[in-house]
Amino acid sequence: MDSLKYNQYLRCIKLCRERIESFSQYPYCVPAIKDLSIMEFHKKVTFIVGENGTGKSTILEGIAVAYGFNPEGGTRNFNFSTNDTHSDLHENLKLVKGVKRPNDSFFLRAESFYNMATNIDNIDAVMSYGGVSLHSQSHGESFLSVIRNRFSGHGLYILDEPEAALSPSRQMSLLVIMDELIKQGSQFIIATHSPIIMSYPDSIIYELSDGIKEVKYKDTEHYKITKAFLDNPEKMLKALLFEE
């Protein structure tokens, strides 16, 4: 393993397969999790991509909870709970950390963002998030407000499907903010469907399907399908909607 990885916050995760009673039960029956042994992380950005139901968010949630985050997001100090639906995957993950500790950390997920924003209001912490209630902004504005105002650099940031809140132009804004934070010594782990977000050049992309494989950006299904559609939308629409 590259010696530089000792300087990153998270080097890899290992699934403690000997602890698992049955790979026929959720979440261990999911093919990508059944295939998981070791997942190494890039010192800058690691993307986890794949179709719906392939286990992206489940793996990301397991990493976050094993690290000490609230399953619904926030900092490691957040302890609210509105729906206890997370799996026990975190109990069987071993996190291999580097010698450095992050000065900042955050788990941001689109699925439970509303609940996290409510908790921020309840604990009167809005000044740390731009000084305005996140509920008083649009979904996309509030999502970026958290990243701009709360992410301070030299941090570990875990993002679950951030594109759910962001227009294409705001996804490009996210890339700019990410790059600034990475230059300040930050590390990102991101589950995404977005070909825009996963285009960040200095990264690893893991694609989940029947297992887990490392892929190049232009070899991802998301890139290929999006490109095929944009290159010839009329042909794609005709195939999808009009032909018997």
Predicted confidence (pLDDT) at residue 137 exceeds the cutoff of 50: yes
Task: Work out the pLDDT band at 131, boundaries 50, 70, 90.
Answer: confident
How far apart CA 92 and CA 19 sit, in angstroms, is: 7
Q: Is 164 exposed, middle or buried (0-12, 13-18, 19+ CB in 10 A)?
A: middle
Q: What would the pLDDT profile of 20-75 be if each residue is shown by its tens digit?
A: 999 999 999 999 999 999 999 999 999 999 999 999 999 999 999 999 998 877 77
- Classify the C-alpha dihedral 87-91-95-100 as positive or negative: positive
Residue 1: its pLDDT value, please?
Answer: 45
Please return the burial class of 163, using the count of CB atoms within 10 Å of its CB with bins 0-12, 13-18 and 19+. buried
Question: Is the pLDDT assigned to residue 114 strictly greater than 90?
Answer: no
CA distance 210 to 31: 5
| Confidence tier at 163 by pLDDT (50, 70, 90) | very high
Average pLDDT, the chain: 87
Model confidence pLDDT, tens digit, residues 202-241:
999 999 999 999 999 999 999 999 999 999 999 999 888 8
CA dihedral 156, 154, 78, 86 (to 10 degrees): 0
Least Cα distance to 85 among 109, 50, 51 occurs for 109
Contact 195, 187 (CB under 8 A): no
> Which residues does residue 94 pair with via DSSP β-bridges, in sequence order?
14
Q: Is 77 helix (H, G, I), strand (E, B) or coil?
A: coil
User: Residue 166's closest CA among 129, 188, 145, 139?
Assistant: 139
Q: Would you say 59 and 217 are in contact if contact means Cβ atoms under 8 Å apart?
A: no
- The percent of residues above 90 in pLDDT, for the chain, comes to 63
pLDDT for res 242: 72
Q: Report residue 91 as tokens.
A: 């109990």
Q: pLDDT value at position 78? A: 67
Q: Which comes out higher in pLDDT, residue 19 or 115?
A: 19
Per-residue pLDDT, 39: 96
Lookup: tokens for 5: 């990885």
- What is the domain class of 3-242 according to CATH? alpha beta
User: What are the distances in angstroms from CA 229 to CA 30, 32, 194, 225?
Assistant: 29, 27, 14, 6
Confidence of residue 128 (pLDDT cuts 50, 70, 90): low
**3-state SS, residue 11:** strand
Pairing of strands 38-40, 10-15: antiparallel
User: Average pLDDT for residues 89-104, to the nearest whole number?
Assistant: 93
